[in-house]
Structure 1
Amino acid sequence: MPTSVIVLVLLGASLVALLLVLFARREARAEREAGRREAESLREDARARLTEAKRREELALAREAEIAADHRQAQQYARSLEERAAVVVRDEKRLAQERAHVDQERAAALADVAGTTPEEAREELRAALVAEARAKAAGEVRRIERRTRDQADLRAREILVDAMQRQAQATSTEHGTTWVDLPSEEMKGRIIGREGRNIRAFEALTGVNVLVEEGVNAVQLSCFDPERREIAEVMLAALVQDGRIQPQRVEAAYARAVAGASQRHRDAGLDAIAAAGISAVPAEMVEVLGRLRLRTSYGQNVLAHLVESAQLAEDIARAVGADVEVARRAAFLHDIGKAFTHDLPGTHAAVGARFAAEHGEEPLVVAAIAAHHDEVPQESVEGVIVQVADALSAARPGARREDLDAYVSRMETLEELVAAHEGVTRVLAMSAGREVRVIVEPDEVDDEGTQALARTIAGHISKEFTFPGEIKVTVIRELRADAVAGQA
């Protein structure tokens, strides 16, 4: 082997050995550095633990010192209390001895004056002291009662004012007129009809005055009876929508409007029940409640009054801690008897309570309905709340007007006066009572009899009815014959 190769091999081996030595030294240094860092970390951890242990020991010593100080203070306070208690006991004994001495001296003095024994004087003194104590107690009780009553009155006013503010809303006063919008001015001519035959047929069927004014794209319906006015409104809306207006279609629209009254009652009843927050109302009661939308009391719509009363009763019952559901339900149903007052004997409170009981209302609700005008004694605080809610709803500003009820009563009296004549089948007071249309049975009143009947009715009205101006009496006799044509 050549010498140069041998040299190269030896050099390579030397280099490899040198590299291995250098690598081993570097690994050793790295291990020493890691060991040093680990040892330093352990030392730091040990120092931190030692510091924490010293801190805890210092805190424990401080806490022990505080506890010892508190203990010493408590012992001192206990000794002070014991000393005070001993002083109080000594004072009480001394006062008792002095009081007994004074009583003996007073009893002896009274015995000397009145010639009684000390025992008798002592009894008299005790009776006098008891009477004085009772008088003072009675005075204090009266002051407490007066203060309690004043506070209760103030709280009651706050509850009522809060309930009224929650229910602040527009007035529910009814009026005697209704406006029906028209799609165009040309529709007025169709409503009037040729020579006024359409409007005459409309007024004769409904008993409602139709007022057509220039420059207003609407027609006014005027009648004291809200049921007639509603039927006329439904009729006119249907006729305007159809556009074909003639006497035969007026009669058909009238029949449909009358037939749909029950559904309108139910819809109104359901809307009112939802507004009042009432649940589980029988179907028979729903329609009866809906009929109340056409009733007024001193101009206030009865159904709107029931909804408002229920909301007021709910607020008051919640404020005073009464049964909210009973108060709200009884207030909502308290005037339901007004739907029957024309048909059944008795006051609306008694009739309404009987109707509610027949349809499964609970006794507390029935009792509140029956007692809301004090016709029978109240049985619960919820019944009193119903009375209060009824009064609040009726008494709020703008809720009622007596003039409308007086006007309705006057019109009803006029119709009843005329309806009492023989042969009369229907009476319609119109034009605010300035005109009375009388429809007679053609089999009972002939053509000549209509003139005589008109004069008789006019004379009867003049004699029995007080009115300003004049009242026009129109007697209508109409004979119709119907037949159906068919082929076999």
Structure 2
Amino acid sequence: MFENGIVGSLIMIAVGIVVGFFAGFLYRKKIGESKIGSAELEAGRIIERATADSEAKKKELLLEAKEESIRTKNEYEKEFKERRNELQRSEKRLIQKEESLDKKMDSLERKEEQLQRKVDAVEKQKEELAQKIAEQKDILEQLSGLTREQAKDHLLESVKDEIKVETALLIKDMEAKAKLEADKKAIDILSGAIQRCAVDHVTESTVSVVSLPNDEMKGRIIGREGRNIRTLESLTGIDLIIDDTPEAVILSGFDAMRREVARIALEKLIVDGRIHPARIEEMVEKARKEVEVMIREDGEAATFETGVHGLHPELIRLLGKMKFRTSYGQNVLKHSIEVAHLSGLIAGELGADITLAKRAGLLHDIGKSVDHDIEGTHVSIGTALCKKYRESDIIINAVEAHHGDVEPTNIISVIVQVADAISAARPGARRETLESYIKRLHKLEDIADKYKGVEKSFAIQAGRELRVVIIPEEVDDASLTILAREISKNIEEELEYPGQIKVNLIRETRAIEYAK
């Protein structure tokens, strides 16, 4: 019963809760519906206000757009008016210019008509003048007895002779002035060349300079009353020049080996400090021995450089002596080494014996090492030396033939001849045959002989001068210059020759009478 009461109470509570929940739901629904209604009303009012605002804004924008379009239209109309006014002004200027051009064209047409009338008048005058000139020429022909062509030729000949004489005199005068200026200029050039080049070359070839520790040493070298310097000069054969050059003594002499001995001896005396005749003799002897050693070493170095072996020791020494010889400004030892290398290269190209060609090239100038001490040319001396020290016949012939003294008998001799000409680069390296040389001299004389007034001509000084004898009755002094110029120009056009050829014309008048 009690339990039933509890259950009933629970059911009542549950029913009460459900009824309360449902009543609350209905109440909230009603409140929500009332809020929704008020929100819809508010939204309607907002929409109405927005619509009113947009309409007002729209009207405002339309008004501003109309005002802007009106302003733009006014500006365009103003600009259009300005451009139209400018075009009107330009049109007026063009019309004015056109009118001005029309006036100028009219003026030009009138001037052209006037000019044409003047041209016609001039043409008419020219025709009248030509007719008068023709009449005058006919009258002149009748008076002179010459035709028009004959008179023209006569006039040209007379004018030509006058001009020829005047030209010859003018050329002669100008040549005299040019010669004076040329002589002066030549002196300046030669003196400048001597000062700039020759002094250096001569100094290098004939002078050595020995440095001194101080100028007091000069007095010790000179010695009391000059005995030291005299002893040194007599023993070496070299001149000692003691001047104002600070801390230096100059050794002067053409023998380079003696000059080297003097230089070494003097340097040893300066280092030793004891300078007197006995000491000088001792040092000079030591210097000679040192130079001999140097000569042998240089000779051996030359054979080593060229690859030439098996030479007699004396030939090696003579090769070293060539270091102190120069020929046409070229060191003879260096020249011989160069010829040896060139001979080897040429022999290699021709398939000849390279070693033999180098040996012949190295020994071809061996005679120059002693040609100061032995009579004869360096070719004959070199040949004798090669024979003395048992060189082969090929080497001997190469030494004999390298300057064309004898005919080469083998290809090695020809190779050495060519290599020597390449290396030497000296006057005479380019030789011409006797036959071509004689032909050139005959051609030189033939060129002069063909001119009128030439009696005879002679090519002298190995073709360097052409001496022409003139017939005085046919060529006067004034025409002599022109004739010399014509001959020299013809020589330049027809001949090829080294250097220059002097054309010397001789005109001589002689009066001969006999006293009886």
TM-score normalized with structure 1 length: 0.42
Q: Which has the larger radius of gyration?
A: 2
User: Which fold has the larger relative contact order, with Cα–Cα distance below 8 Å and residues 6 or more apart in sequence?
Assistant: 1
